[in-house]
């Protein structure tokens, strides 16, 4: 991967996180259909597009609303870096198959979409509905990185970056689950996303966590998970799309099986944060079934970000307050 604009090599390593540096990959905002908050239907069939939003006889997408002054700030920024994907070994007929139960997510999954370094569109192709405060935060972070002074963030300090960014980078993760809980275990950062389906019998740790507190329930065959109570503000992507500590992420997770032997997880995330966004908005991600990646590589965050001494500032600067 080429140097990231004017960053020093070490600063860039931290600015783009260990995962991006080493795998050169991540996530894109996919143009998929099922609209929260109603969410996708249960079962294995793909969700139908909402009226006027997808292909159909005589249907055309409705015109997008005019940009707000805040959105114009974002569209005037330099474009984000583009990233690609390293190929993974193909899943063969000899590899384990995903359980037939659509509520059984257990196994190894891998995000197989190219990284979008900055979330520029929602799942319907519209600009993120930023407030002026949200636009100013993103612009400040992008311009500082352009000037060769990227800001320190959680991933640069080898702290859990929150569920959205943790899922986005292209490392395998394993899902294990029981009747009252689900856990995502990630290769990167040795991260873990704990979801309680019954806080009375499976209580989450007290206090706040970097990954937030996640409570889930089933709607048909879709697992709906609400994540709140973050220990600190989150970056939702590499360029710093923000979520305040009081923000909320609602993830709708379902396993899609089209009968081709290639099941995938679809996760539609609704982002709610009145401080930075005028209304809730949705992004969607896809994660491929990869039972052939069961052995996670050792992950040493300090070395991965390019600083074996363990000093992780590597040229990054402290962000000014909002």
Q: What is the pTM of this model?
A: 0.81
Q: Is residue 140 part of a domain?
A: no
Question: Which pLDDT score is estimated for 6?
Answer: 36
Question: Which pLDDT score is estimated for 274?
Answer: 98
Contact 157, 312 (CB under 8 A): yes
Query: What average pLDDT does the segment 23-48 reach?
Result: 41
CB neighbour list of residue 240: distance below 8 Å, 6 or more residues apart: 137, 138, 141, 142, 151, 153
Least-confidence region, from 17-31, 41-55, 156-170, 221-235? 17-31
295 burial level (CB within 10 Å; 0-12, 13-18, 19+): exposed
- Provide the residue range defining the domain that includes 86: 25-38+79-90+98-128+159-297
Contact 187, 172 (CB under 8 A): yes
Question: Which pLDDT score is estimated for 4?
Answer: 37
Structure tokens at 45: 């069939």
Dist. CA 321–CA 313, nearest whole Å: 18
Residue of 175, 126, 155, 174 whose CA lies nearest to 283: 126
Q: Is residue 312 part of a domain?
A: no
Q: Is residue 252 part of a domain?
A: yes
Q: Is residue 285 part of a domain?
A: yes
Q: Is residue 55 part of a domain?
A: no
Element (H, E) at 9: helix 9-15
Structure tokens at 88: 């993974």
Q: Is residue 83 part of a domain?
A: yes
152 three-class SS = coil
The number of distinct structural domains making up the chain is: 1
Least-confidence region, from 25-39, 166-180, 181-195? 25-39
Q: Is residue 190 part of a domain?
A: yes
């Amino acid at each position: 991967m080429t140097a990231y604009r004017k960053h020093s090599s070490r600063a860039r390593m931290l600015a783009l996180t260990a995962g991006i540096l080493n795998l050169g990959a991540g996530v894109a905002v996919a143009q998929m259909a099922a609209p929260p908050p109603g969410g996708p239907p249960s079962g294995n069939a793909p969700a139908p597009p909402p009226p006027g939003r997808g292909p159909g006889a005589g249907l055309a997408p409705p015109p997008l609303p005019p940009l707000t002054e805040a959105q114009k700030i974002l569209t005037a920024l330099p474009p984000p870096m583009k990233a690609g994907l390293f190929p993974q070994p193909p899943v063969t007929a000899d590899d384990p198959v995903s359980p037939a139960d659509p509520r059984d997510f257990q196994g190894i999954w891998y995000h197989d979409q190219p990284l979008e370094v900055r979330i520029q569109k929602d799942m319907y192709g519209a600009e993120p509905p930023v407030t002026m405060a949200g636009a100013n935060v993103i612009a400040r972070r992008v311009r500082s990185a352009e000037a060769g002074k990227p800001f320190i963030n959680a991933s640069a300090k080898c702290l859990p970056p929150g569920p959205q960014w943790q899922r986005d980078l292209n490392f395998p993760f394993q899902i294990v689950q029981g009747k009252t809980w689900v856990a995502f275990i990630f290769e990167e950062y040795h991260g873990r996303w704990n979801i309680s389906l019954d806080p009375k019998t499976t209580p989450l740790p007290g206090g706040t966590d970097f990954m937030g507190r996640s409570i889930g329930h089933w709607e048909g065959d879709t697992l709906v998970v609400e994540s709140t109570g973050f220990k600190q503000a989150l970056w939702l992507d590499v360029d710093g799309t923000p979520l305040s500590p009081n923000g909320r992420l609602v993830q709708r997770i379902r396993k899609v099986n089209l009968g081709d032997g290639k099941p995938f997880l679809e996760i539609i995330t609704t982002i709610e944060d009145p401080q930075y966004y005028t209304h809730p908005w949705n992004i969607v991600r896809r994660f491929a079934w990869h039972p052939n990646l069961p052995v996670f590589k050792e992950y040493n965050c300090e070395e991965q970000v390019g600083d074996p001494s363990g000093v992780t500032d590597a040229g990054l600067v402290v962000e000014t307050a909002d």
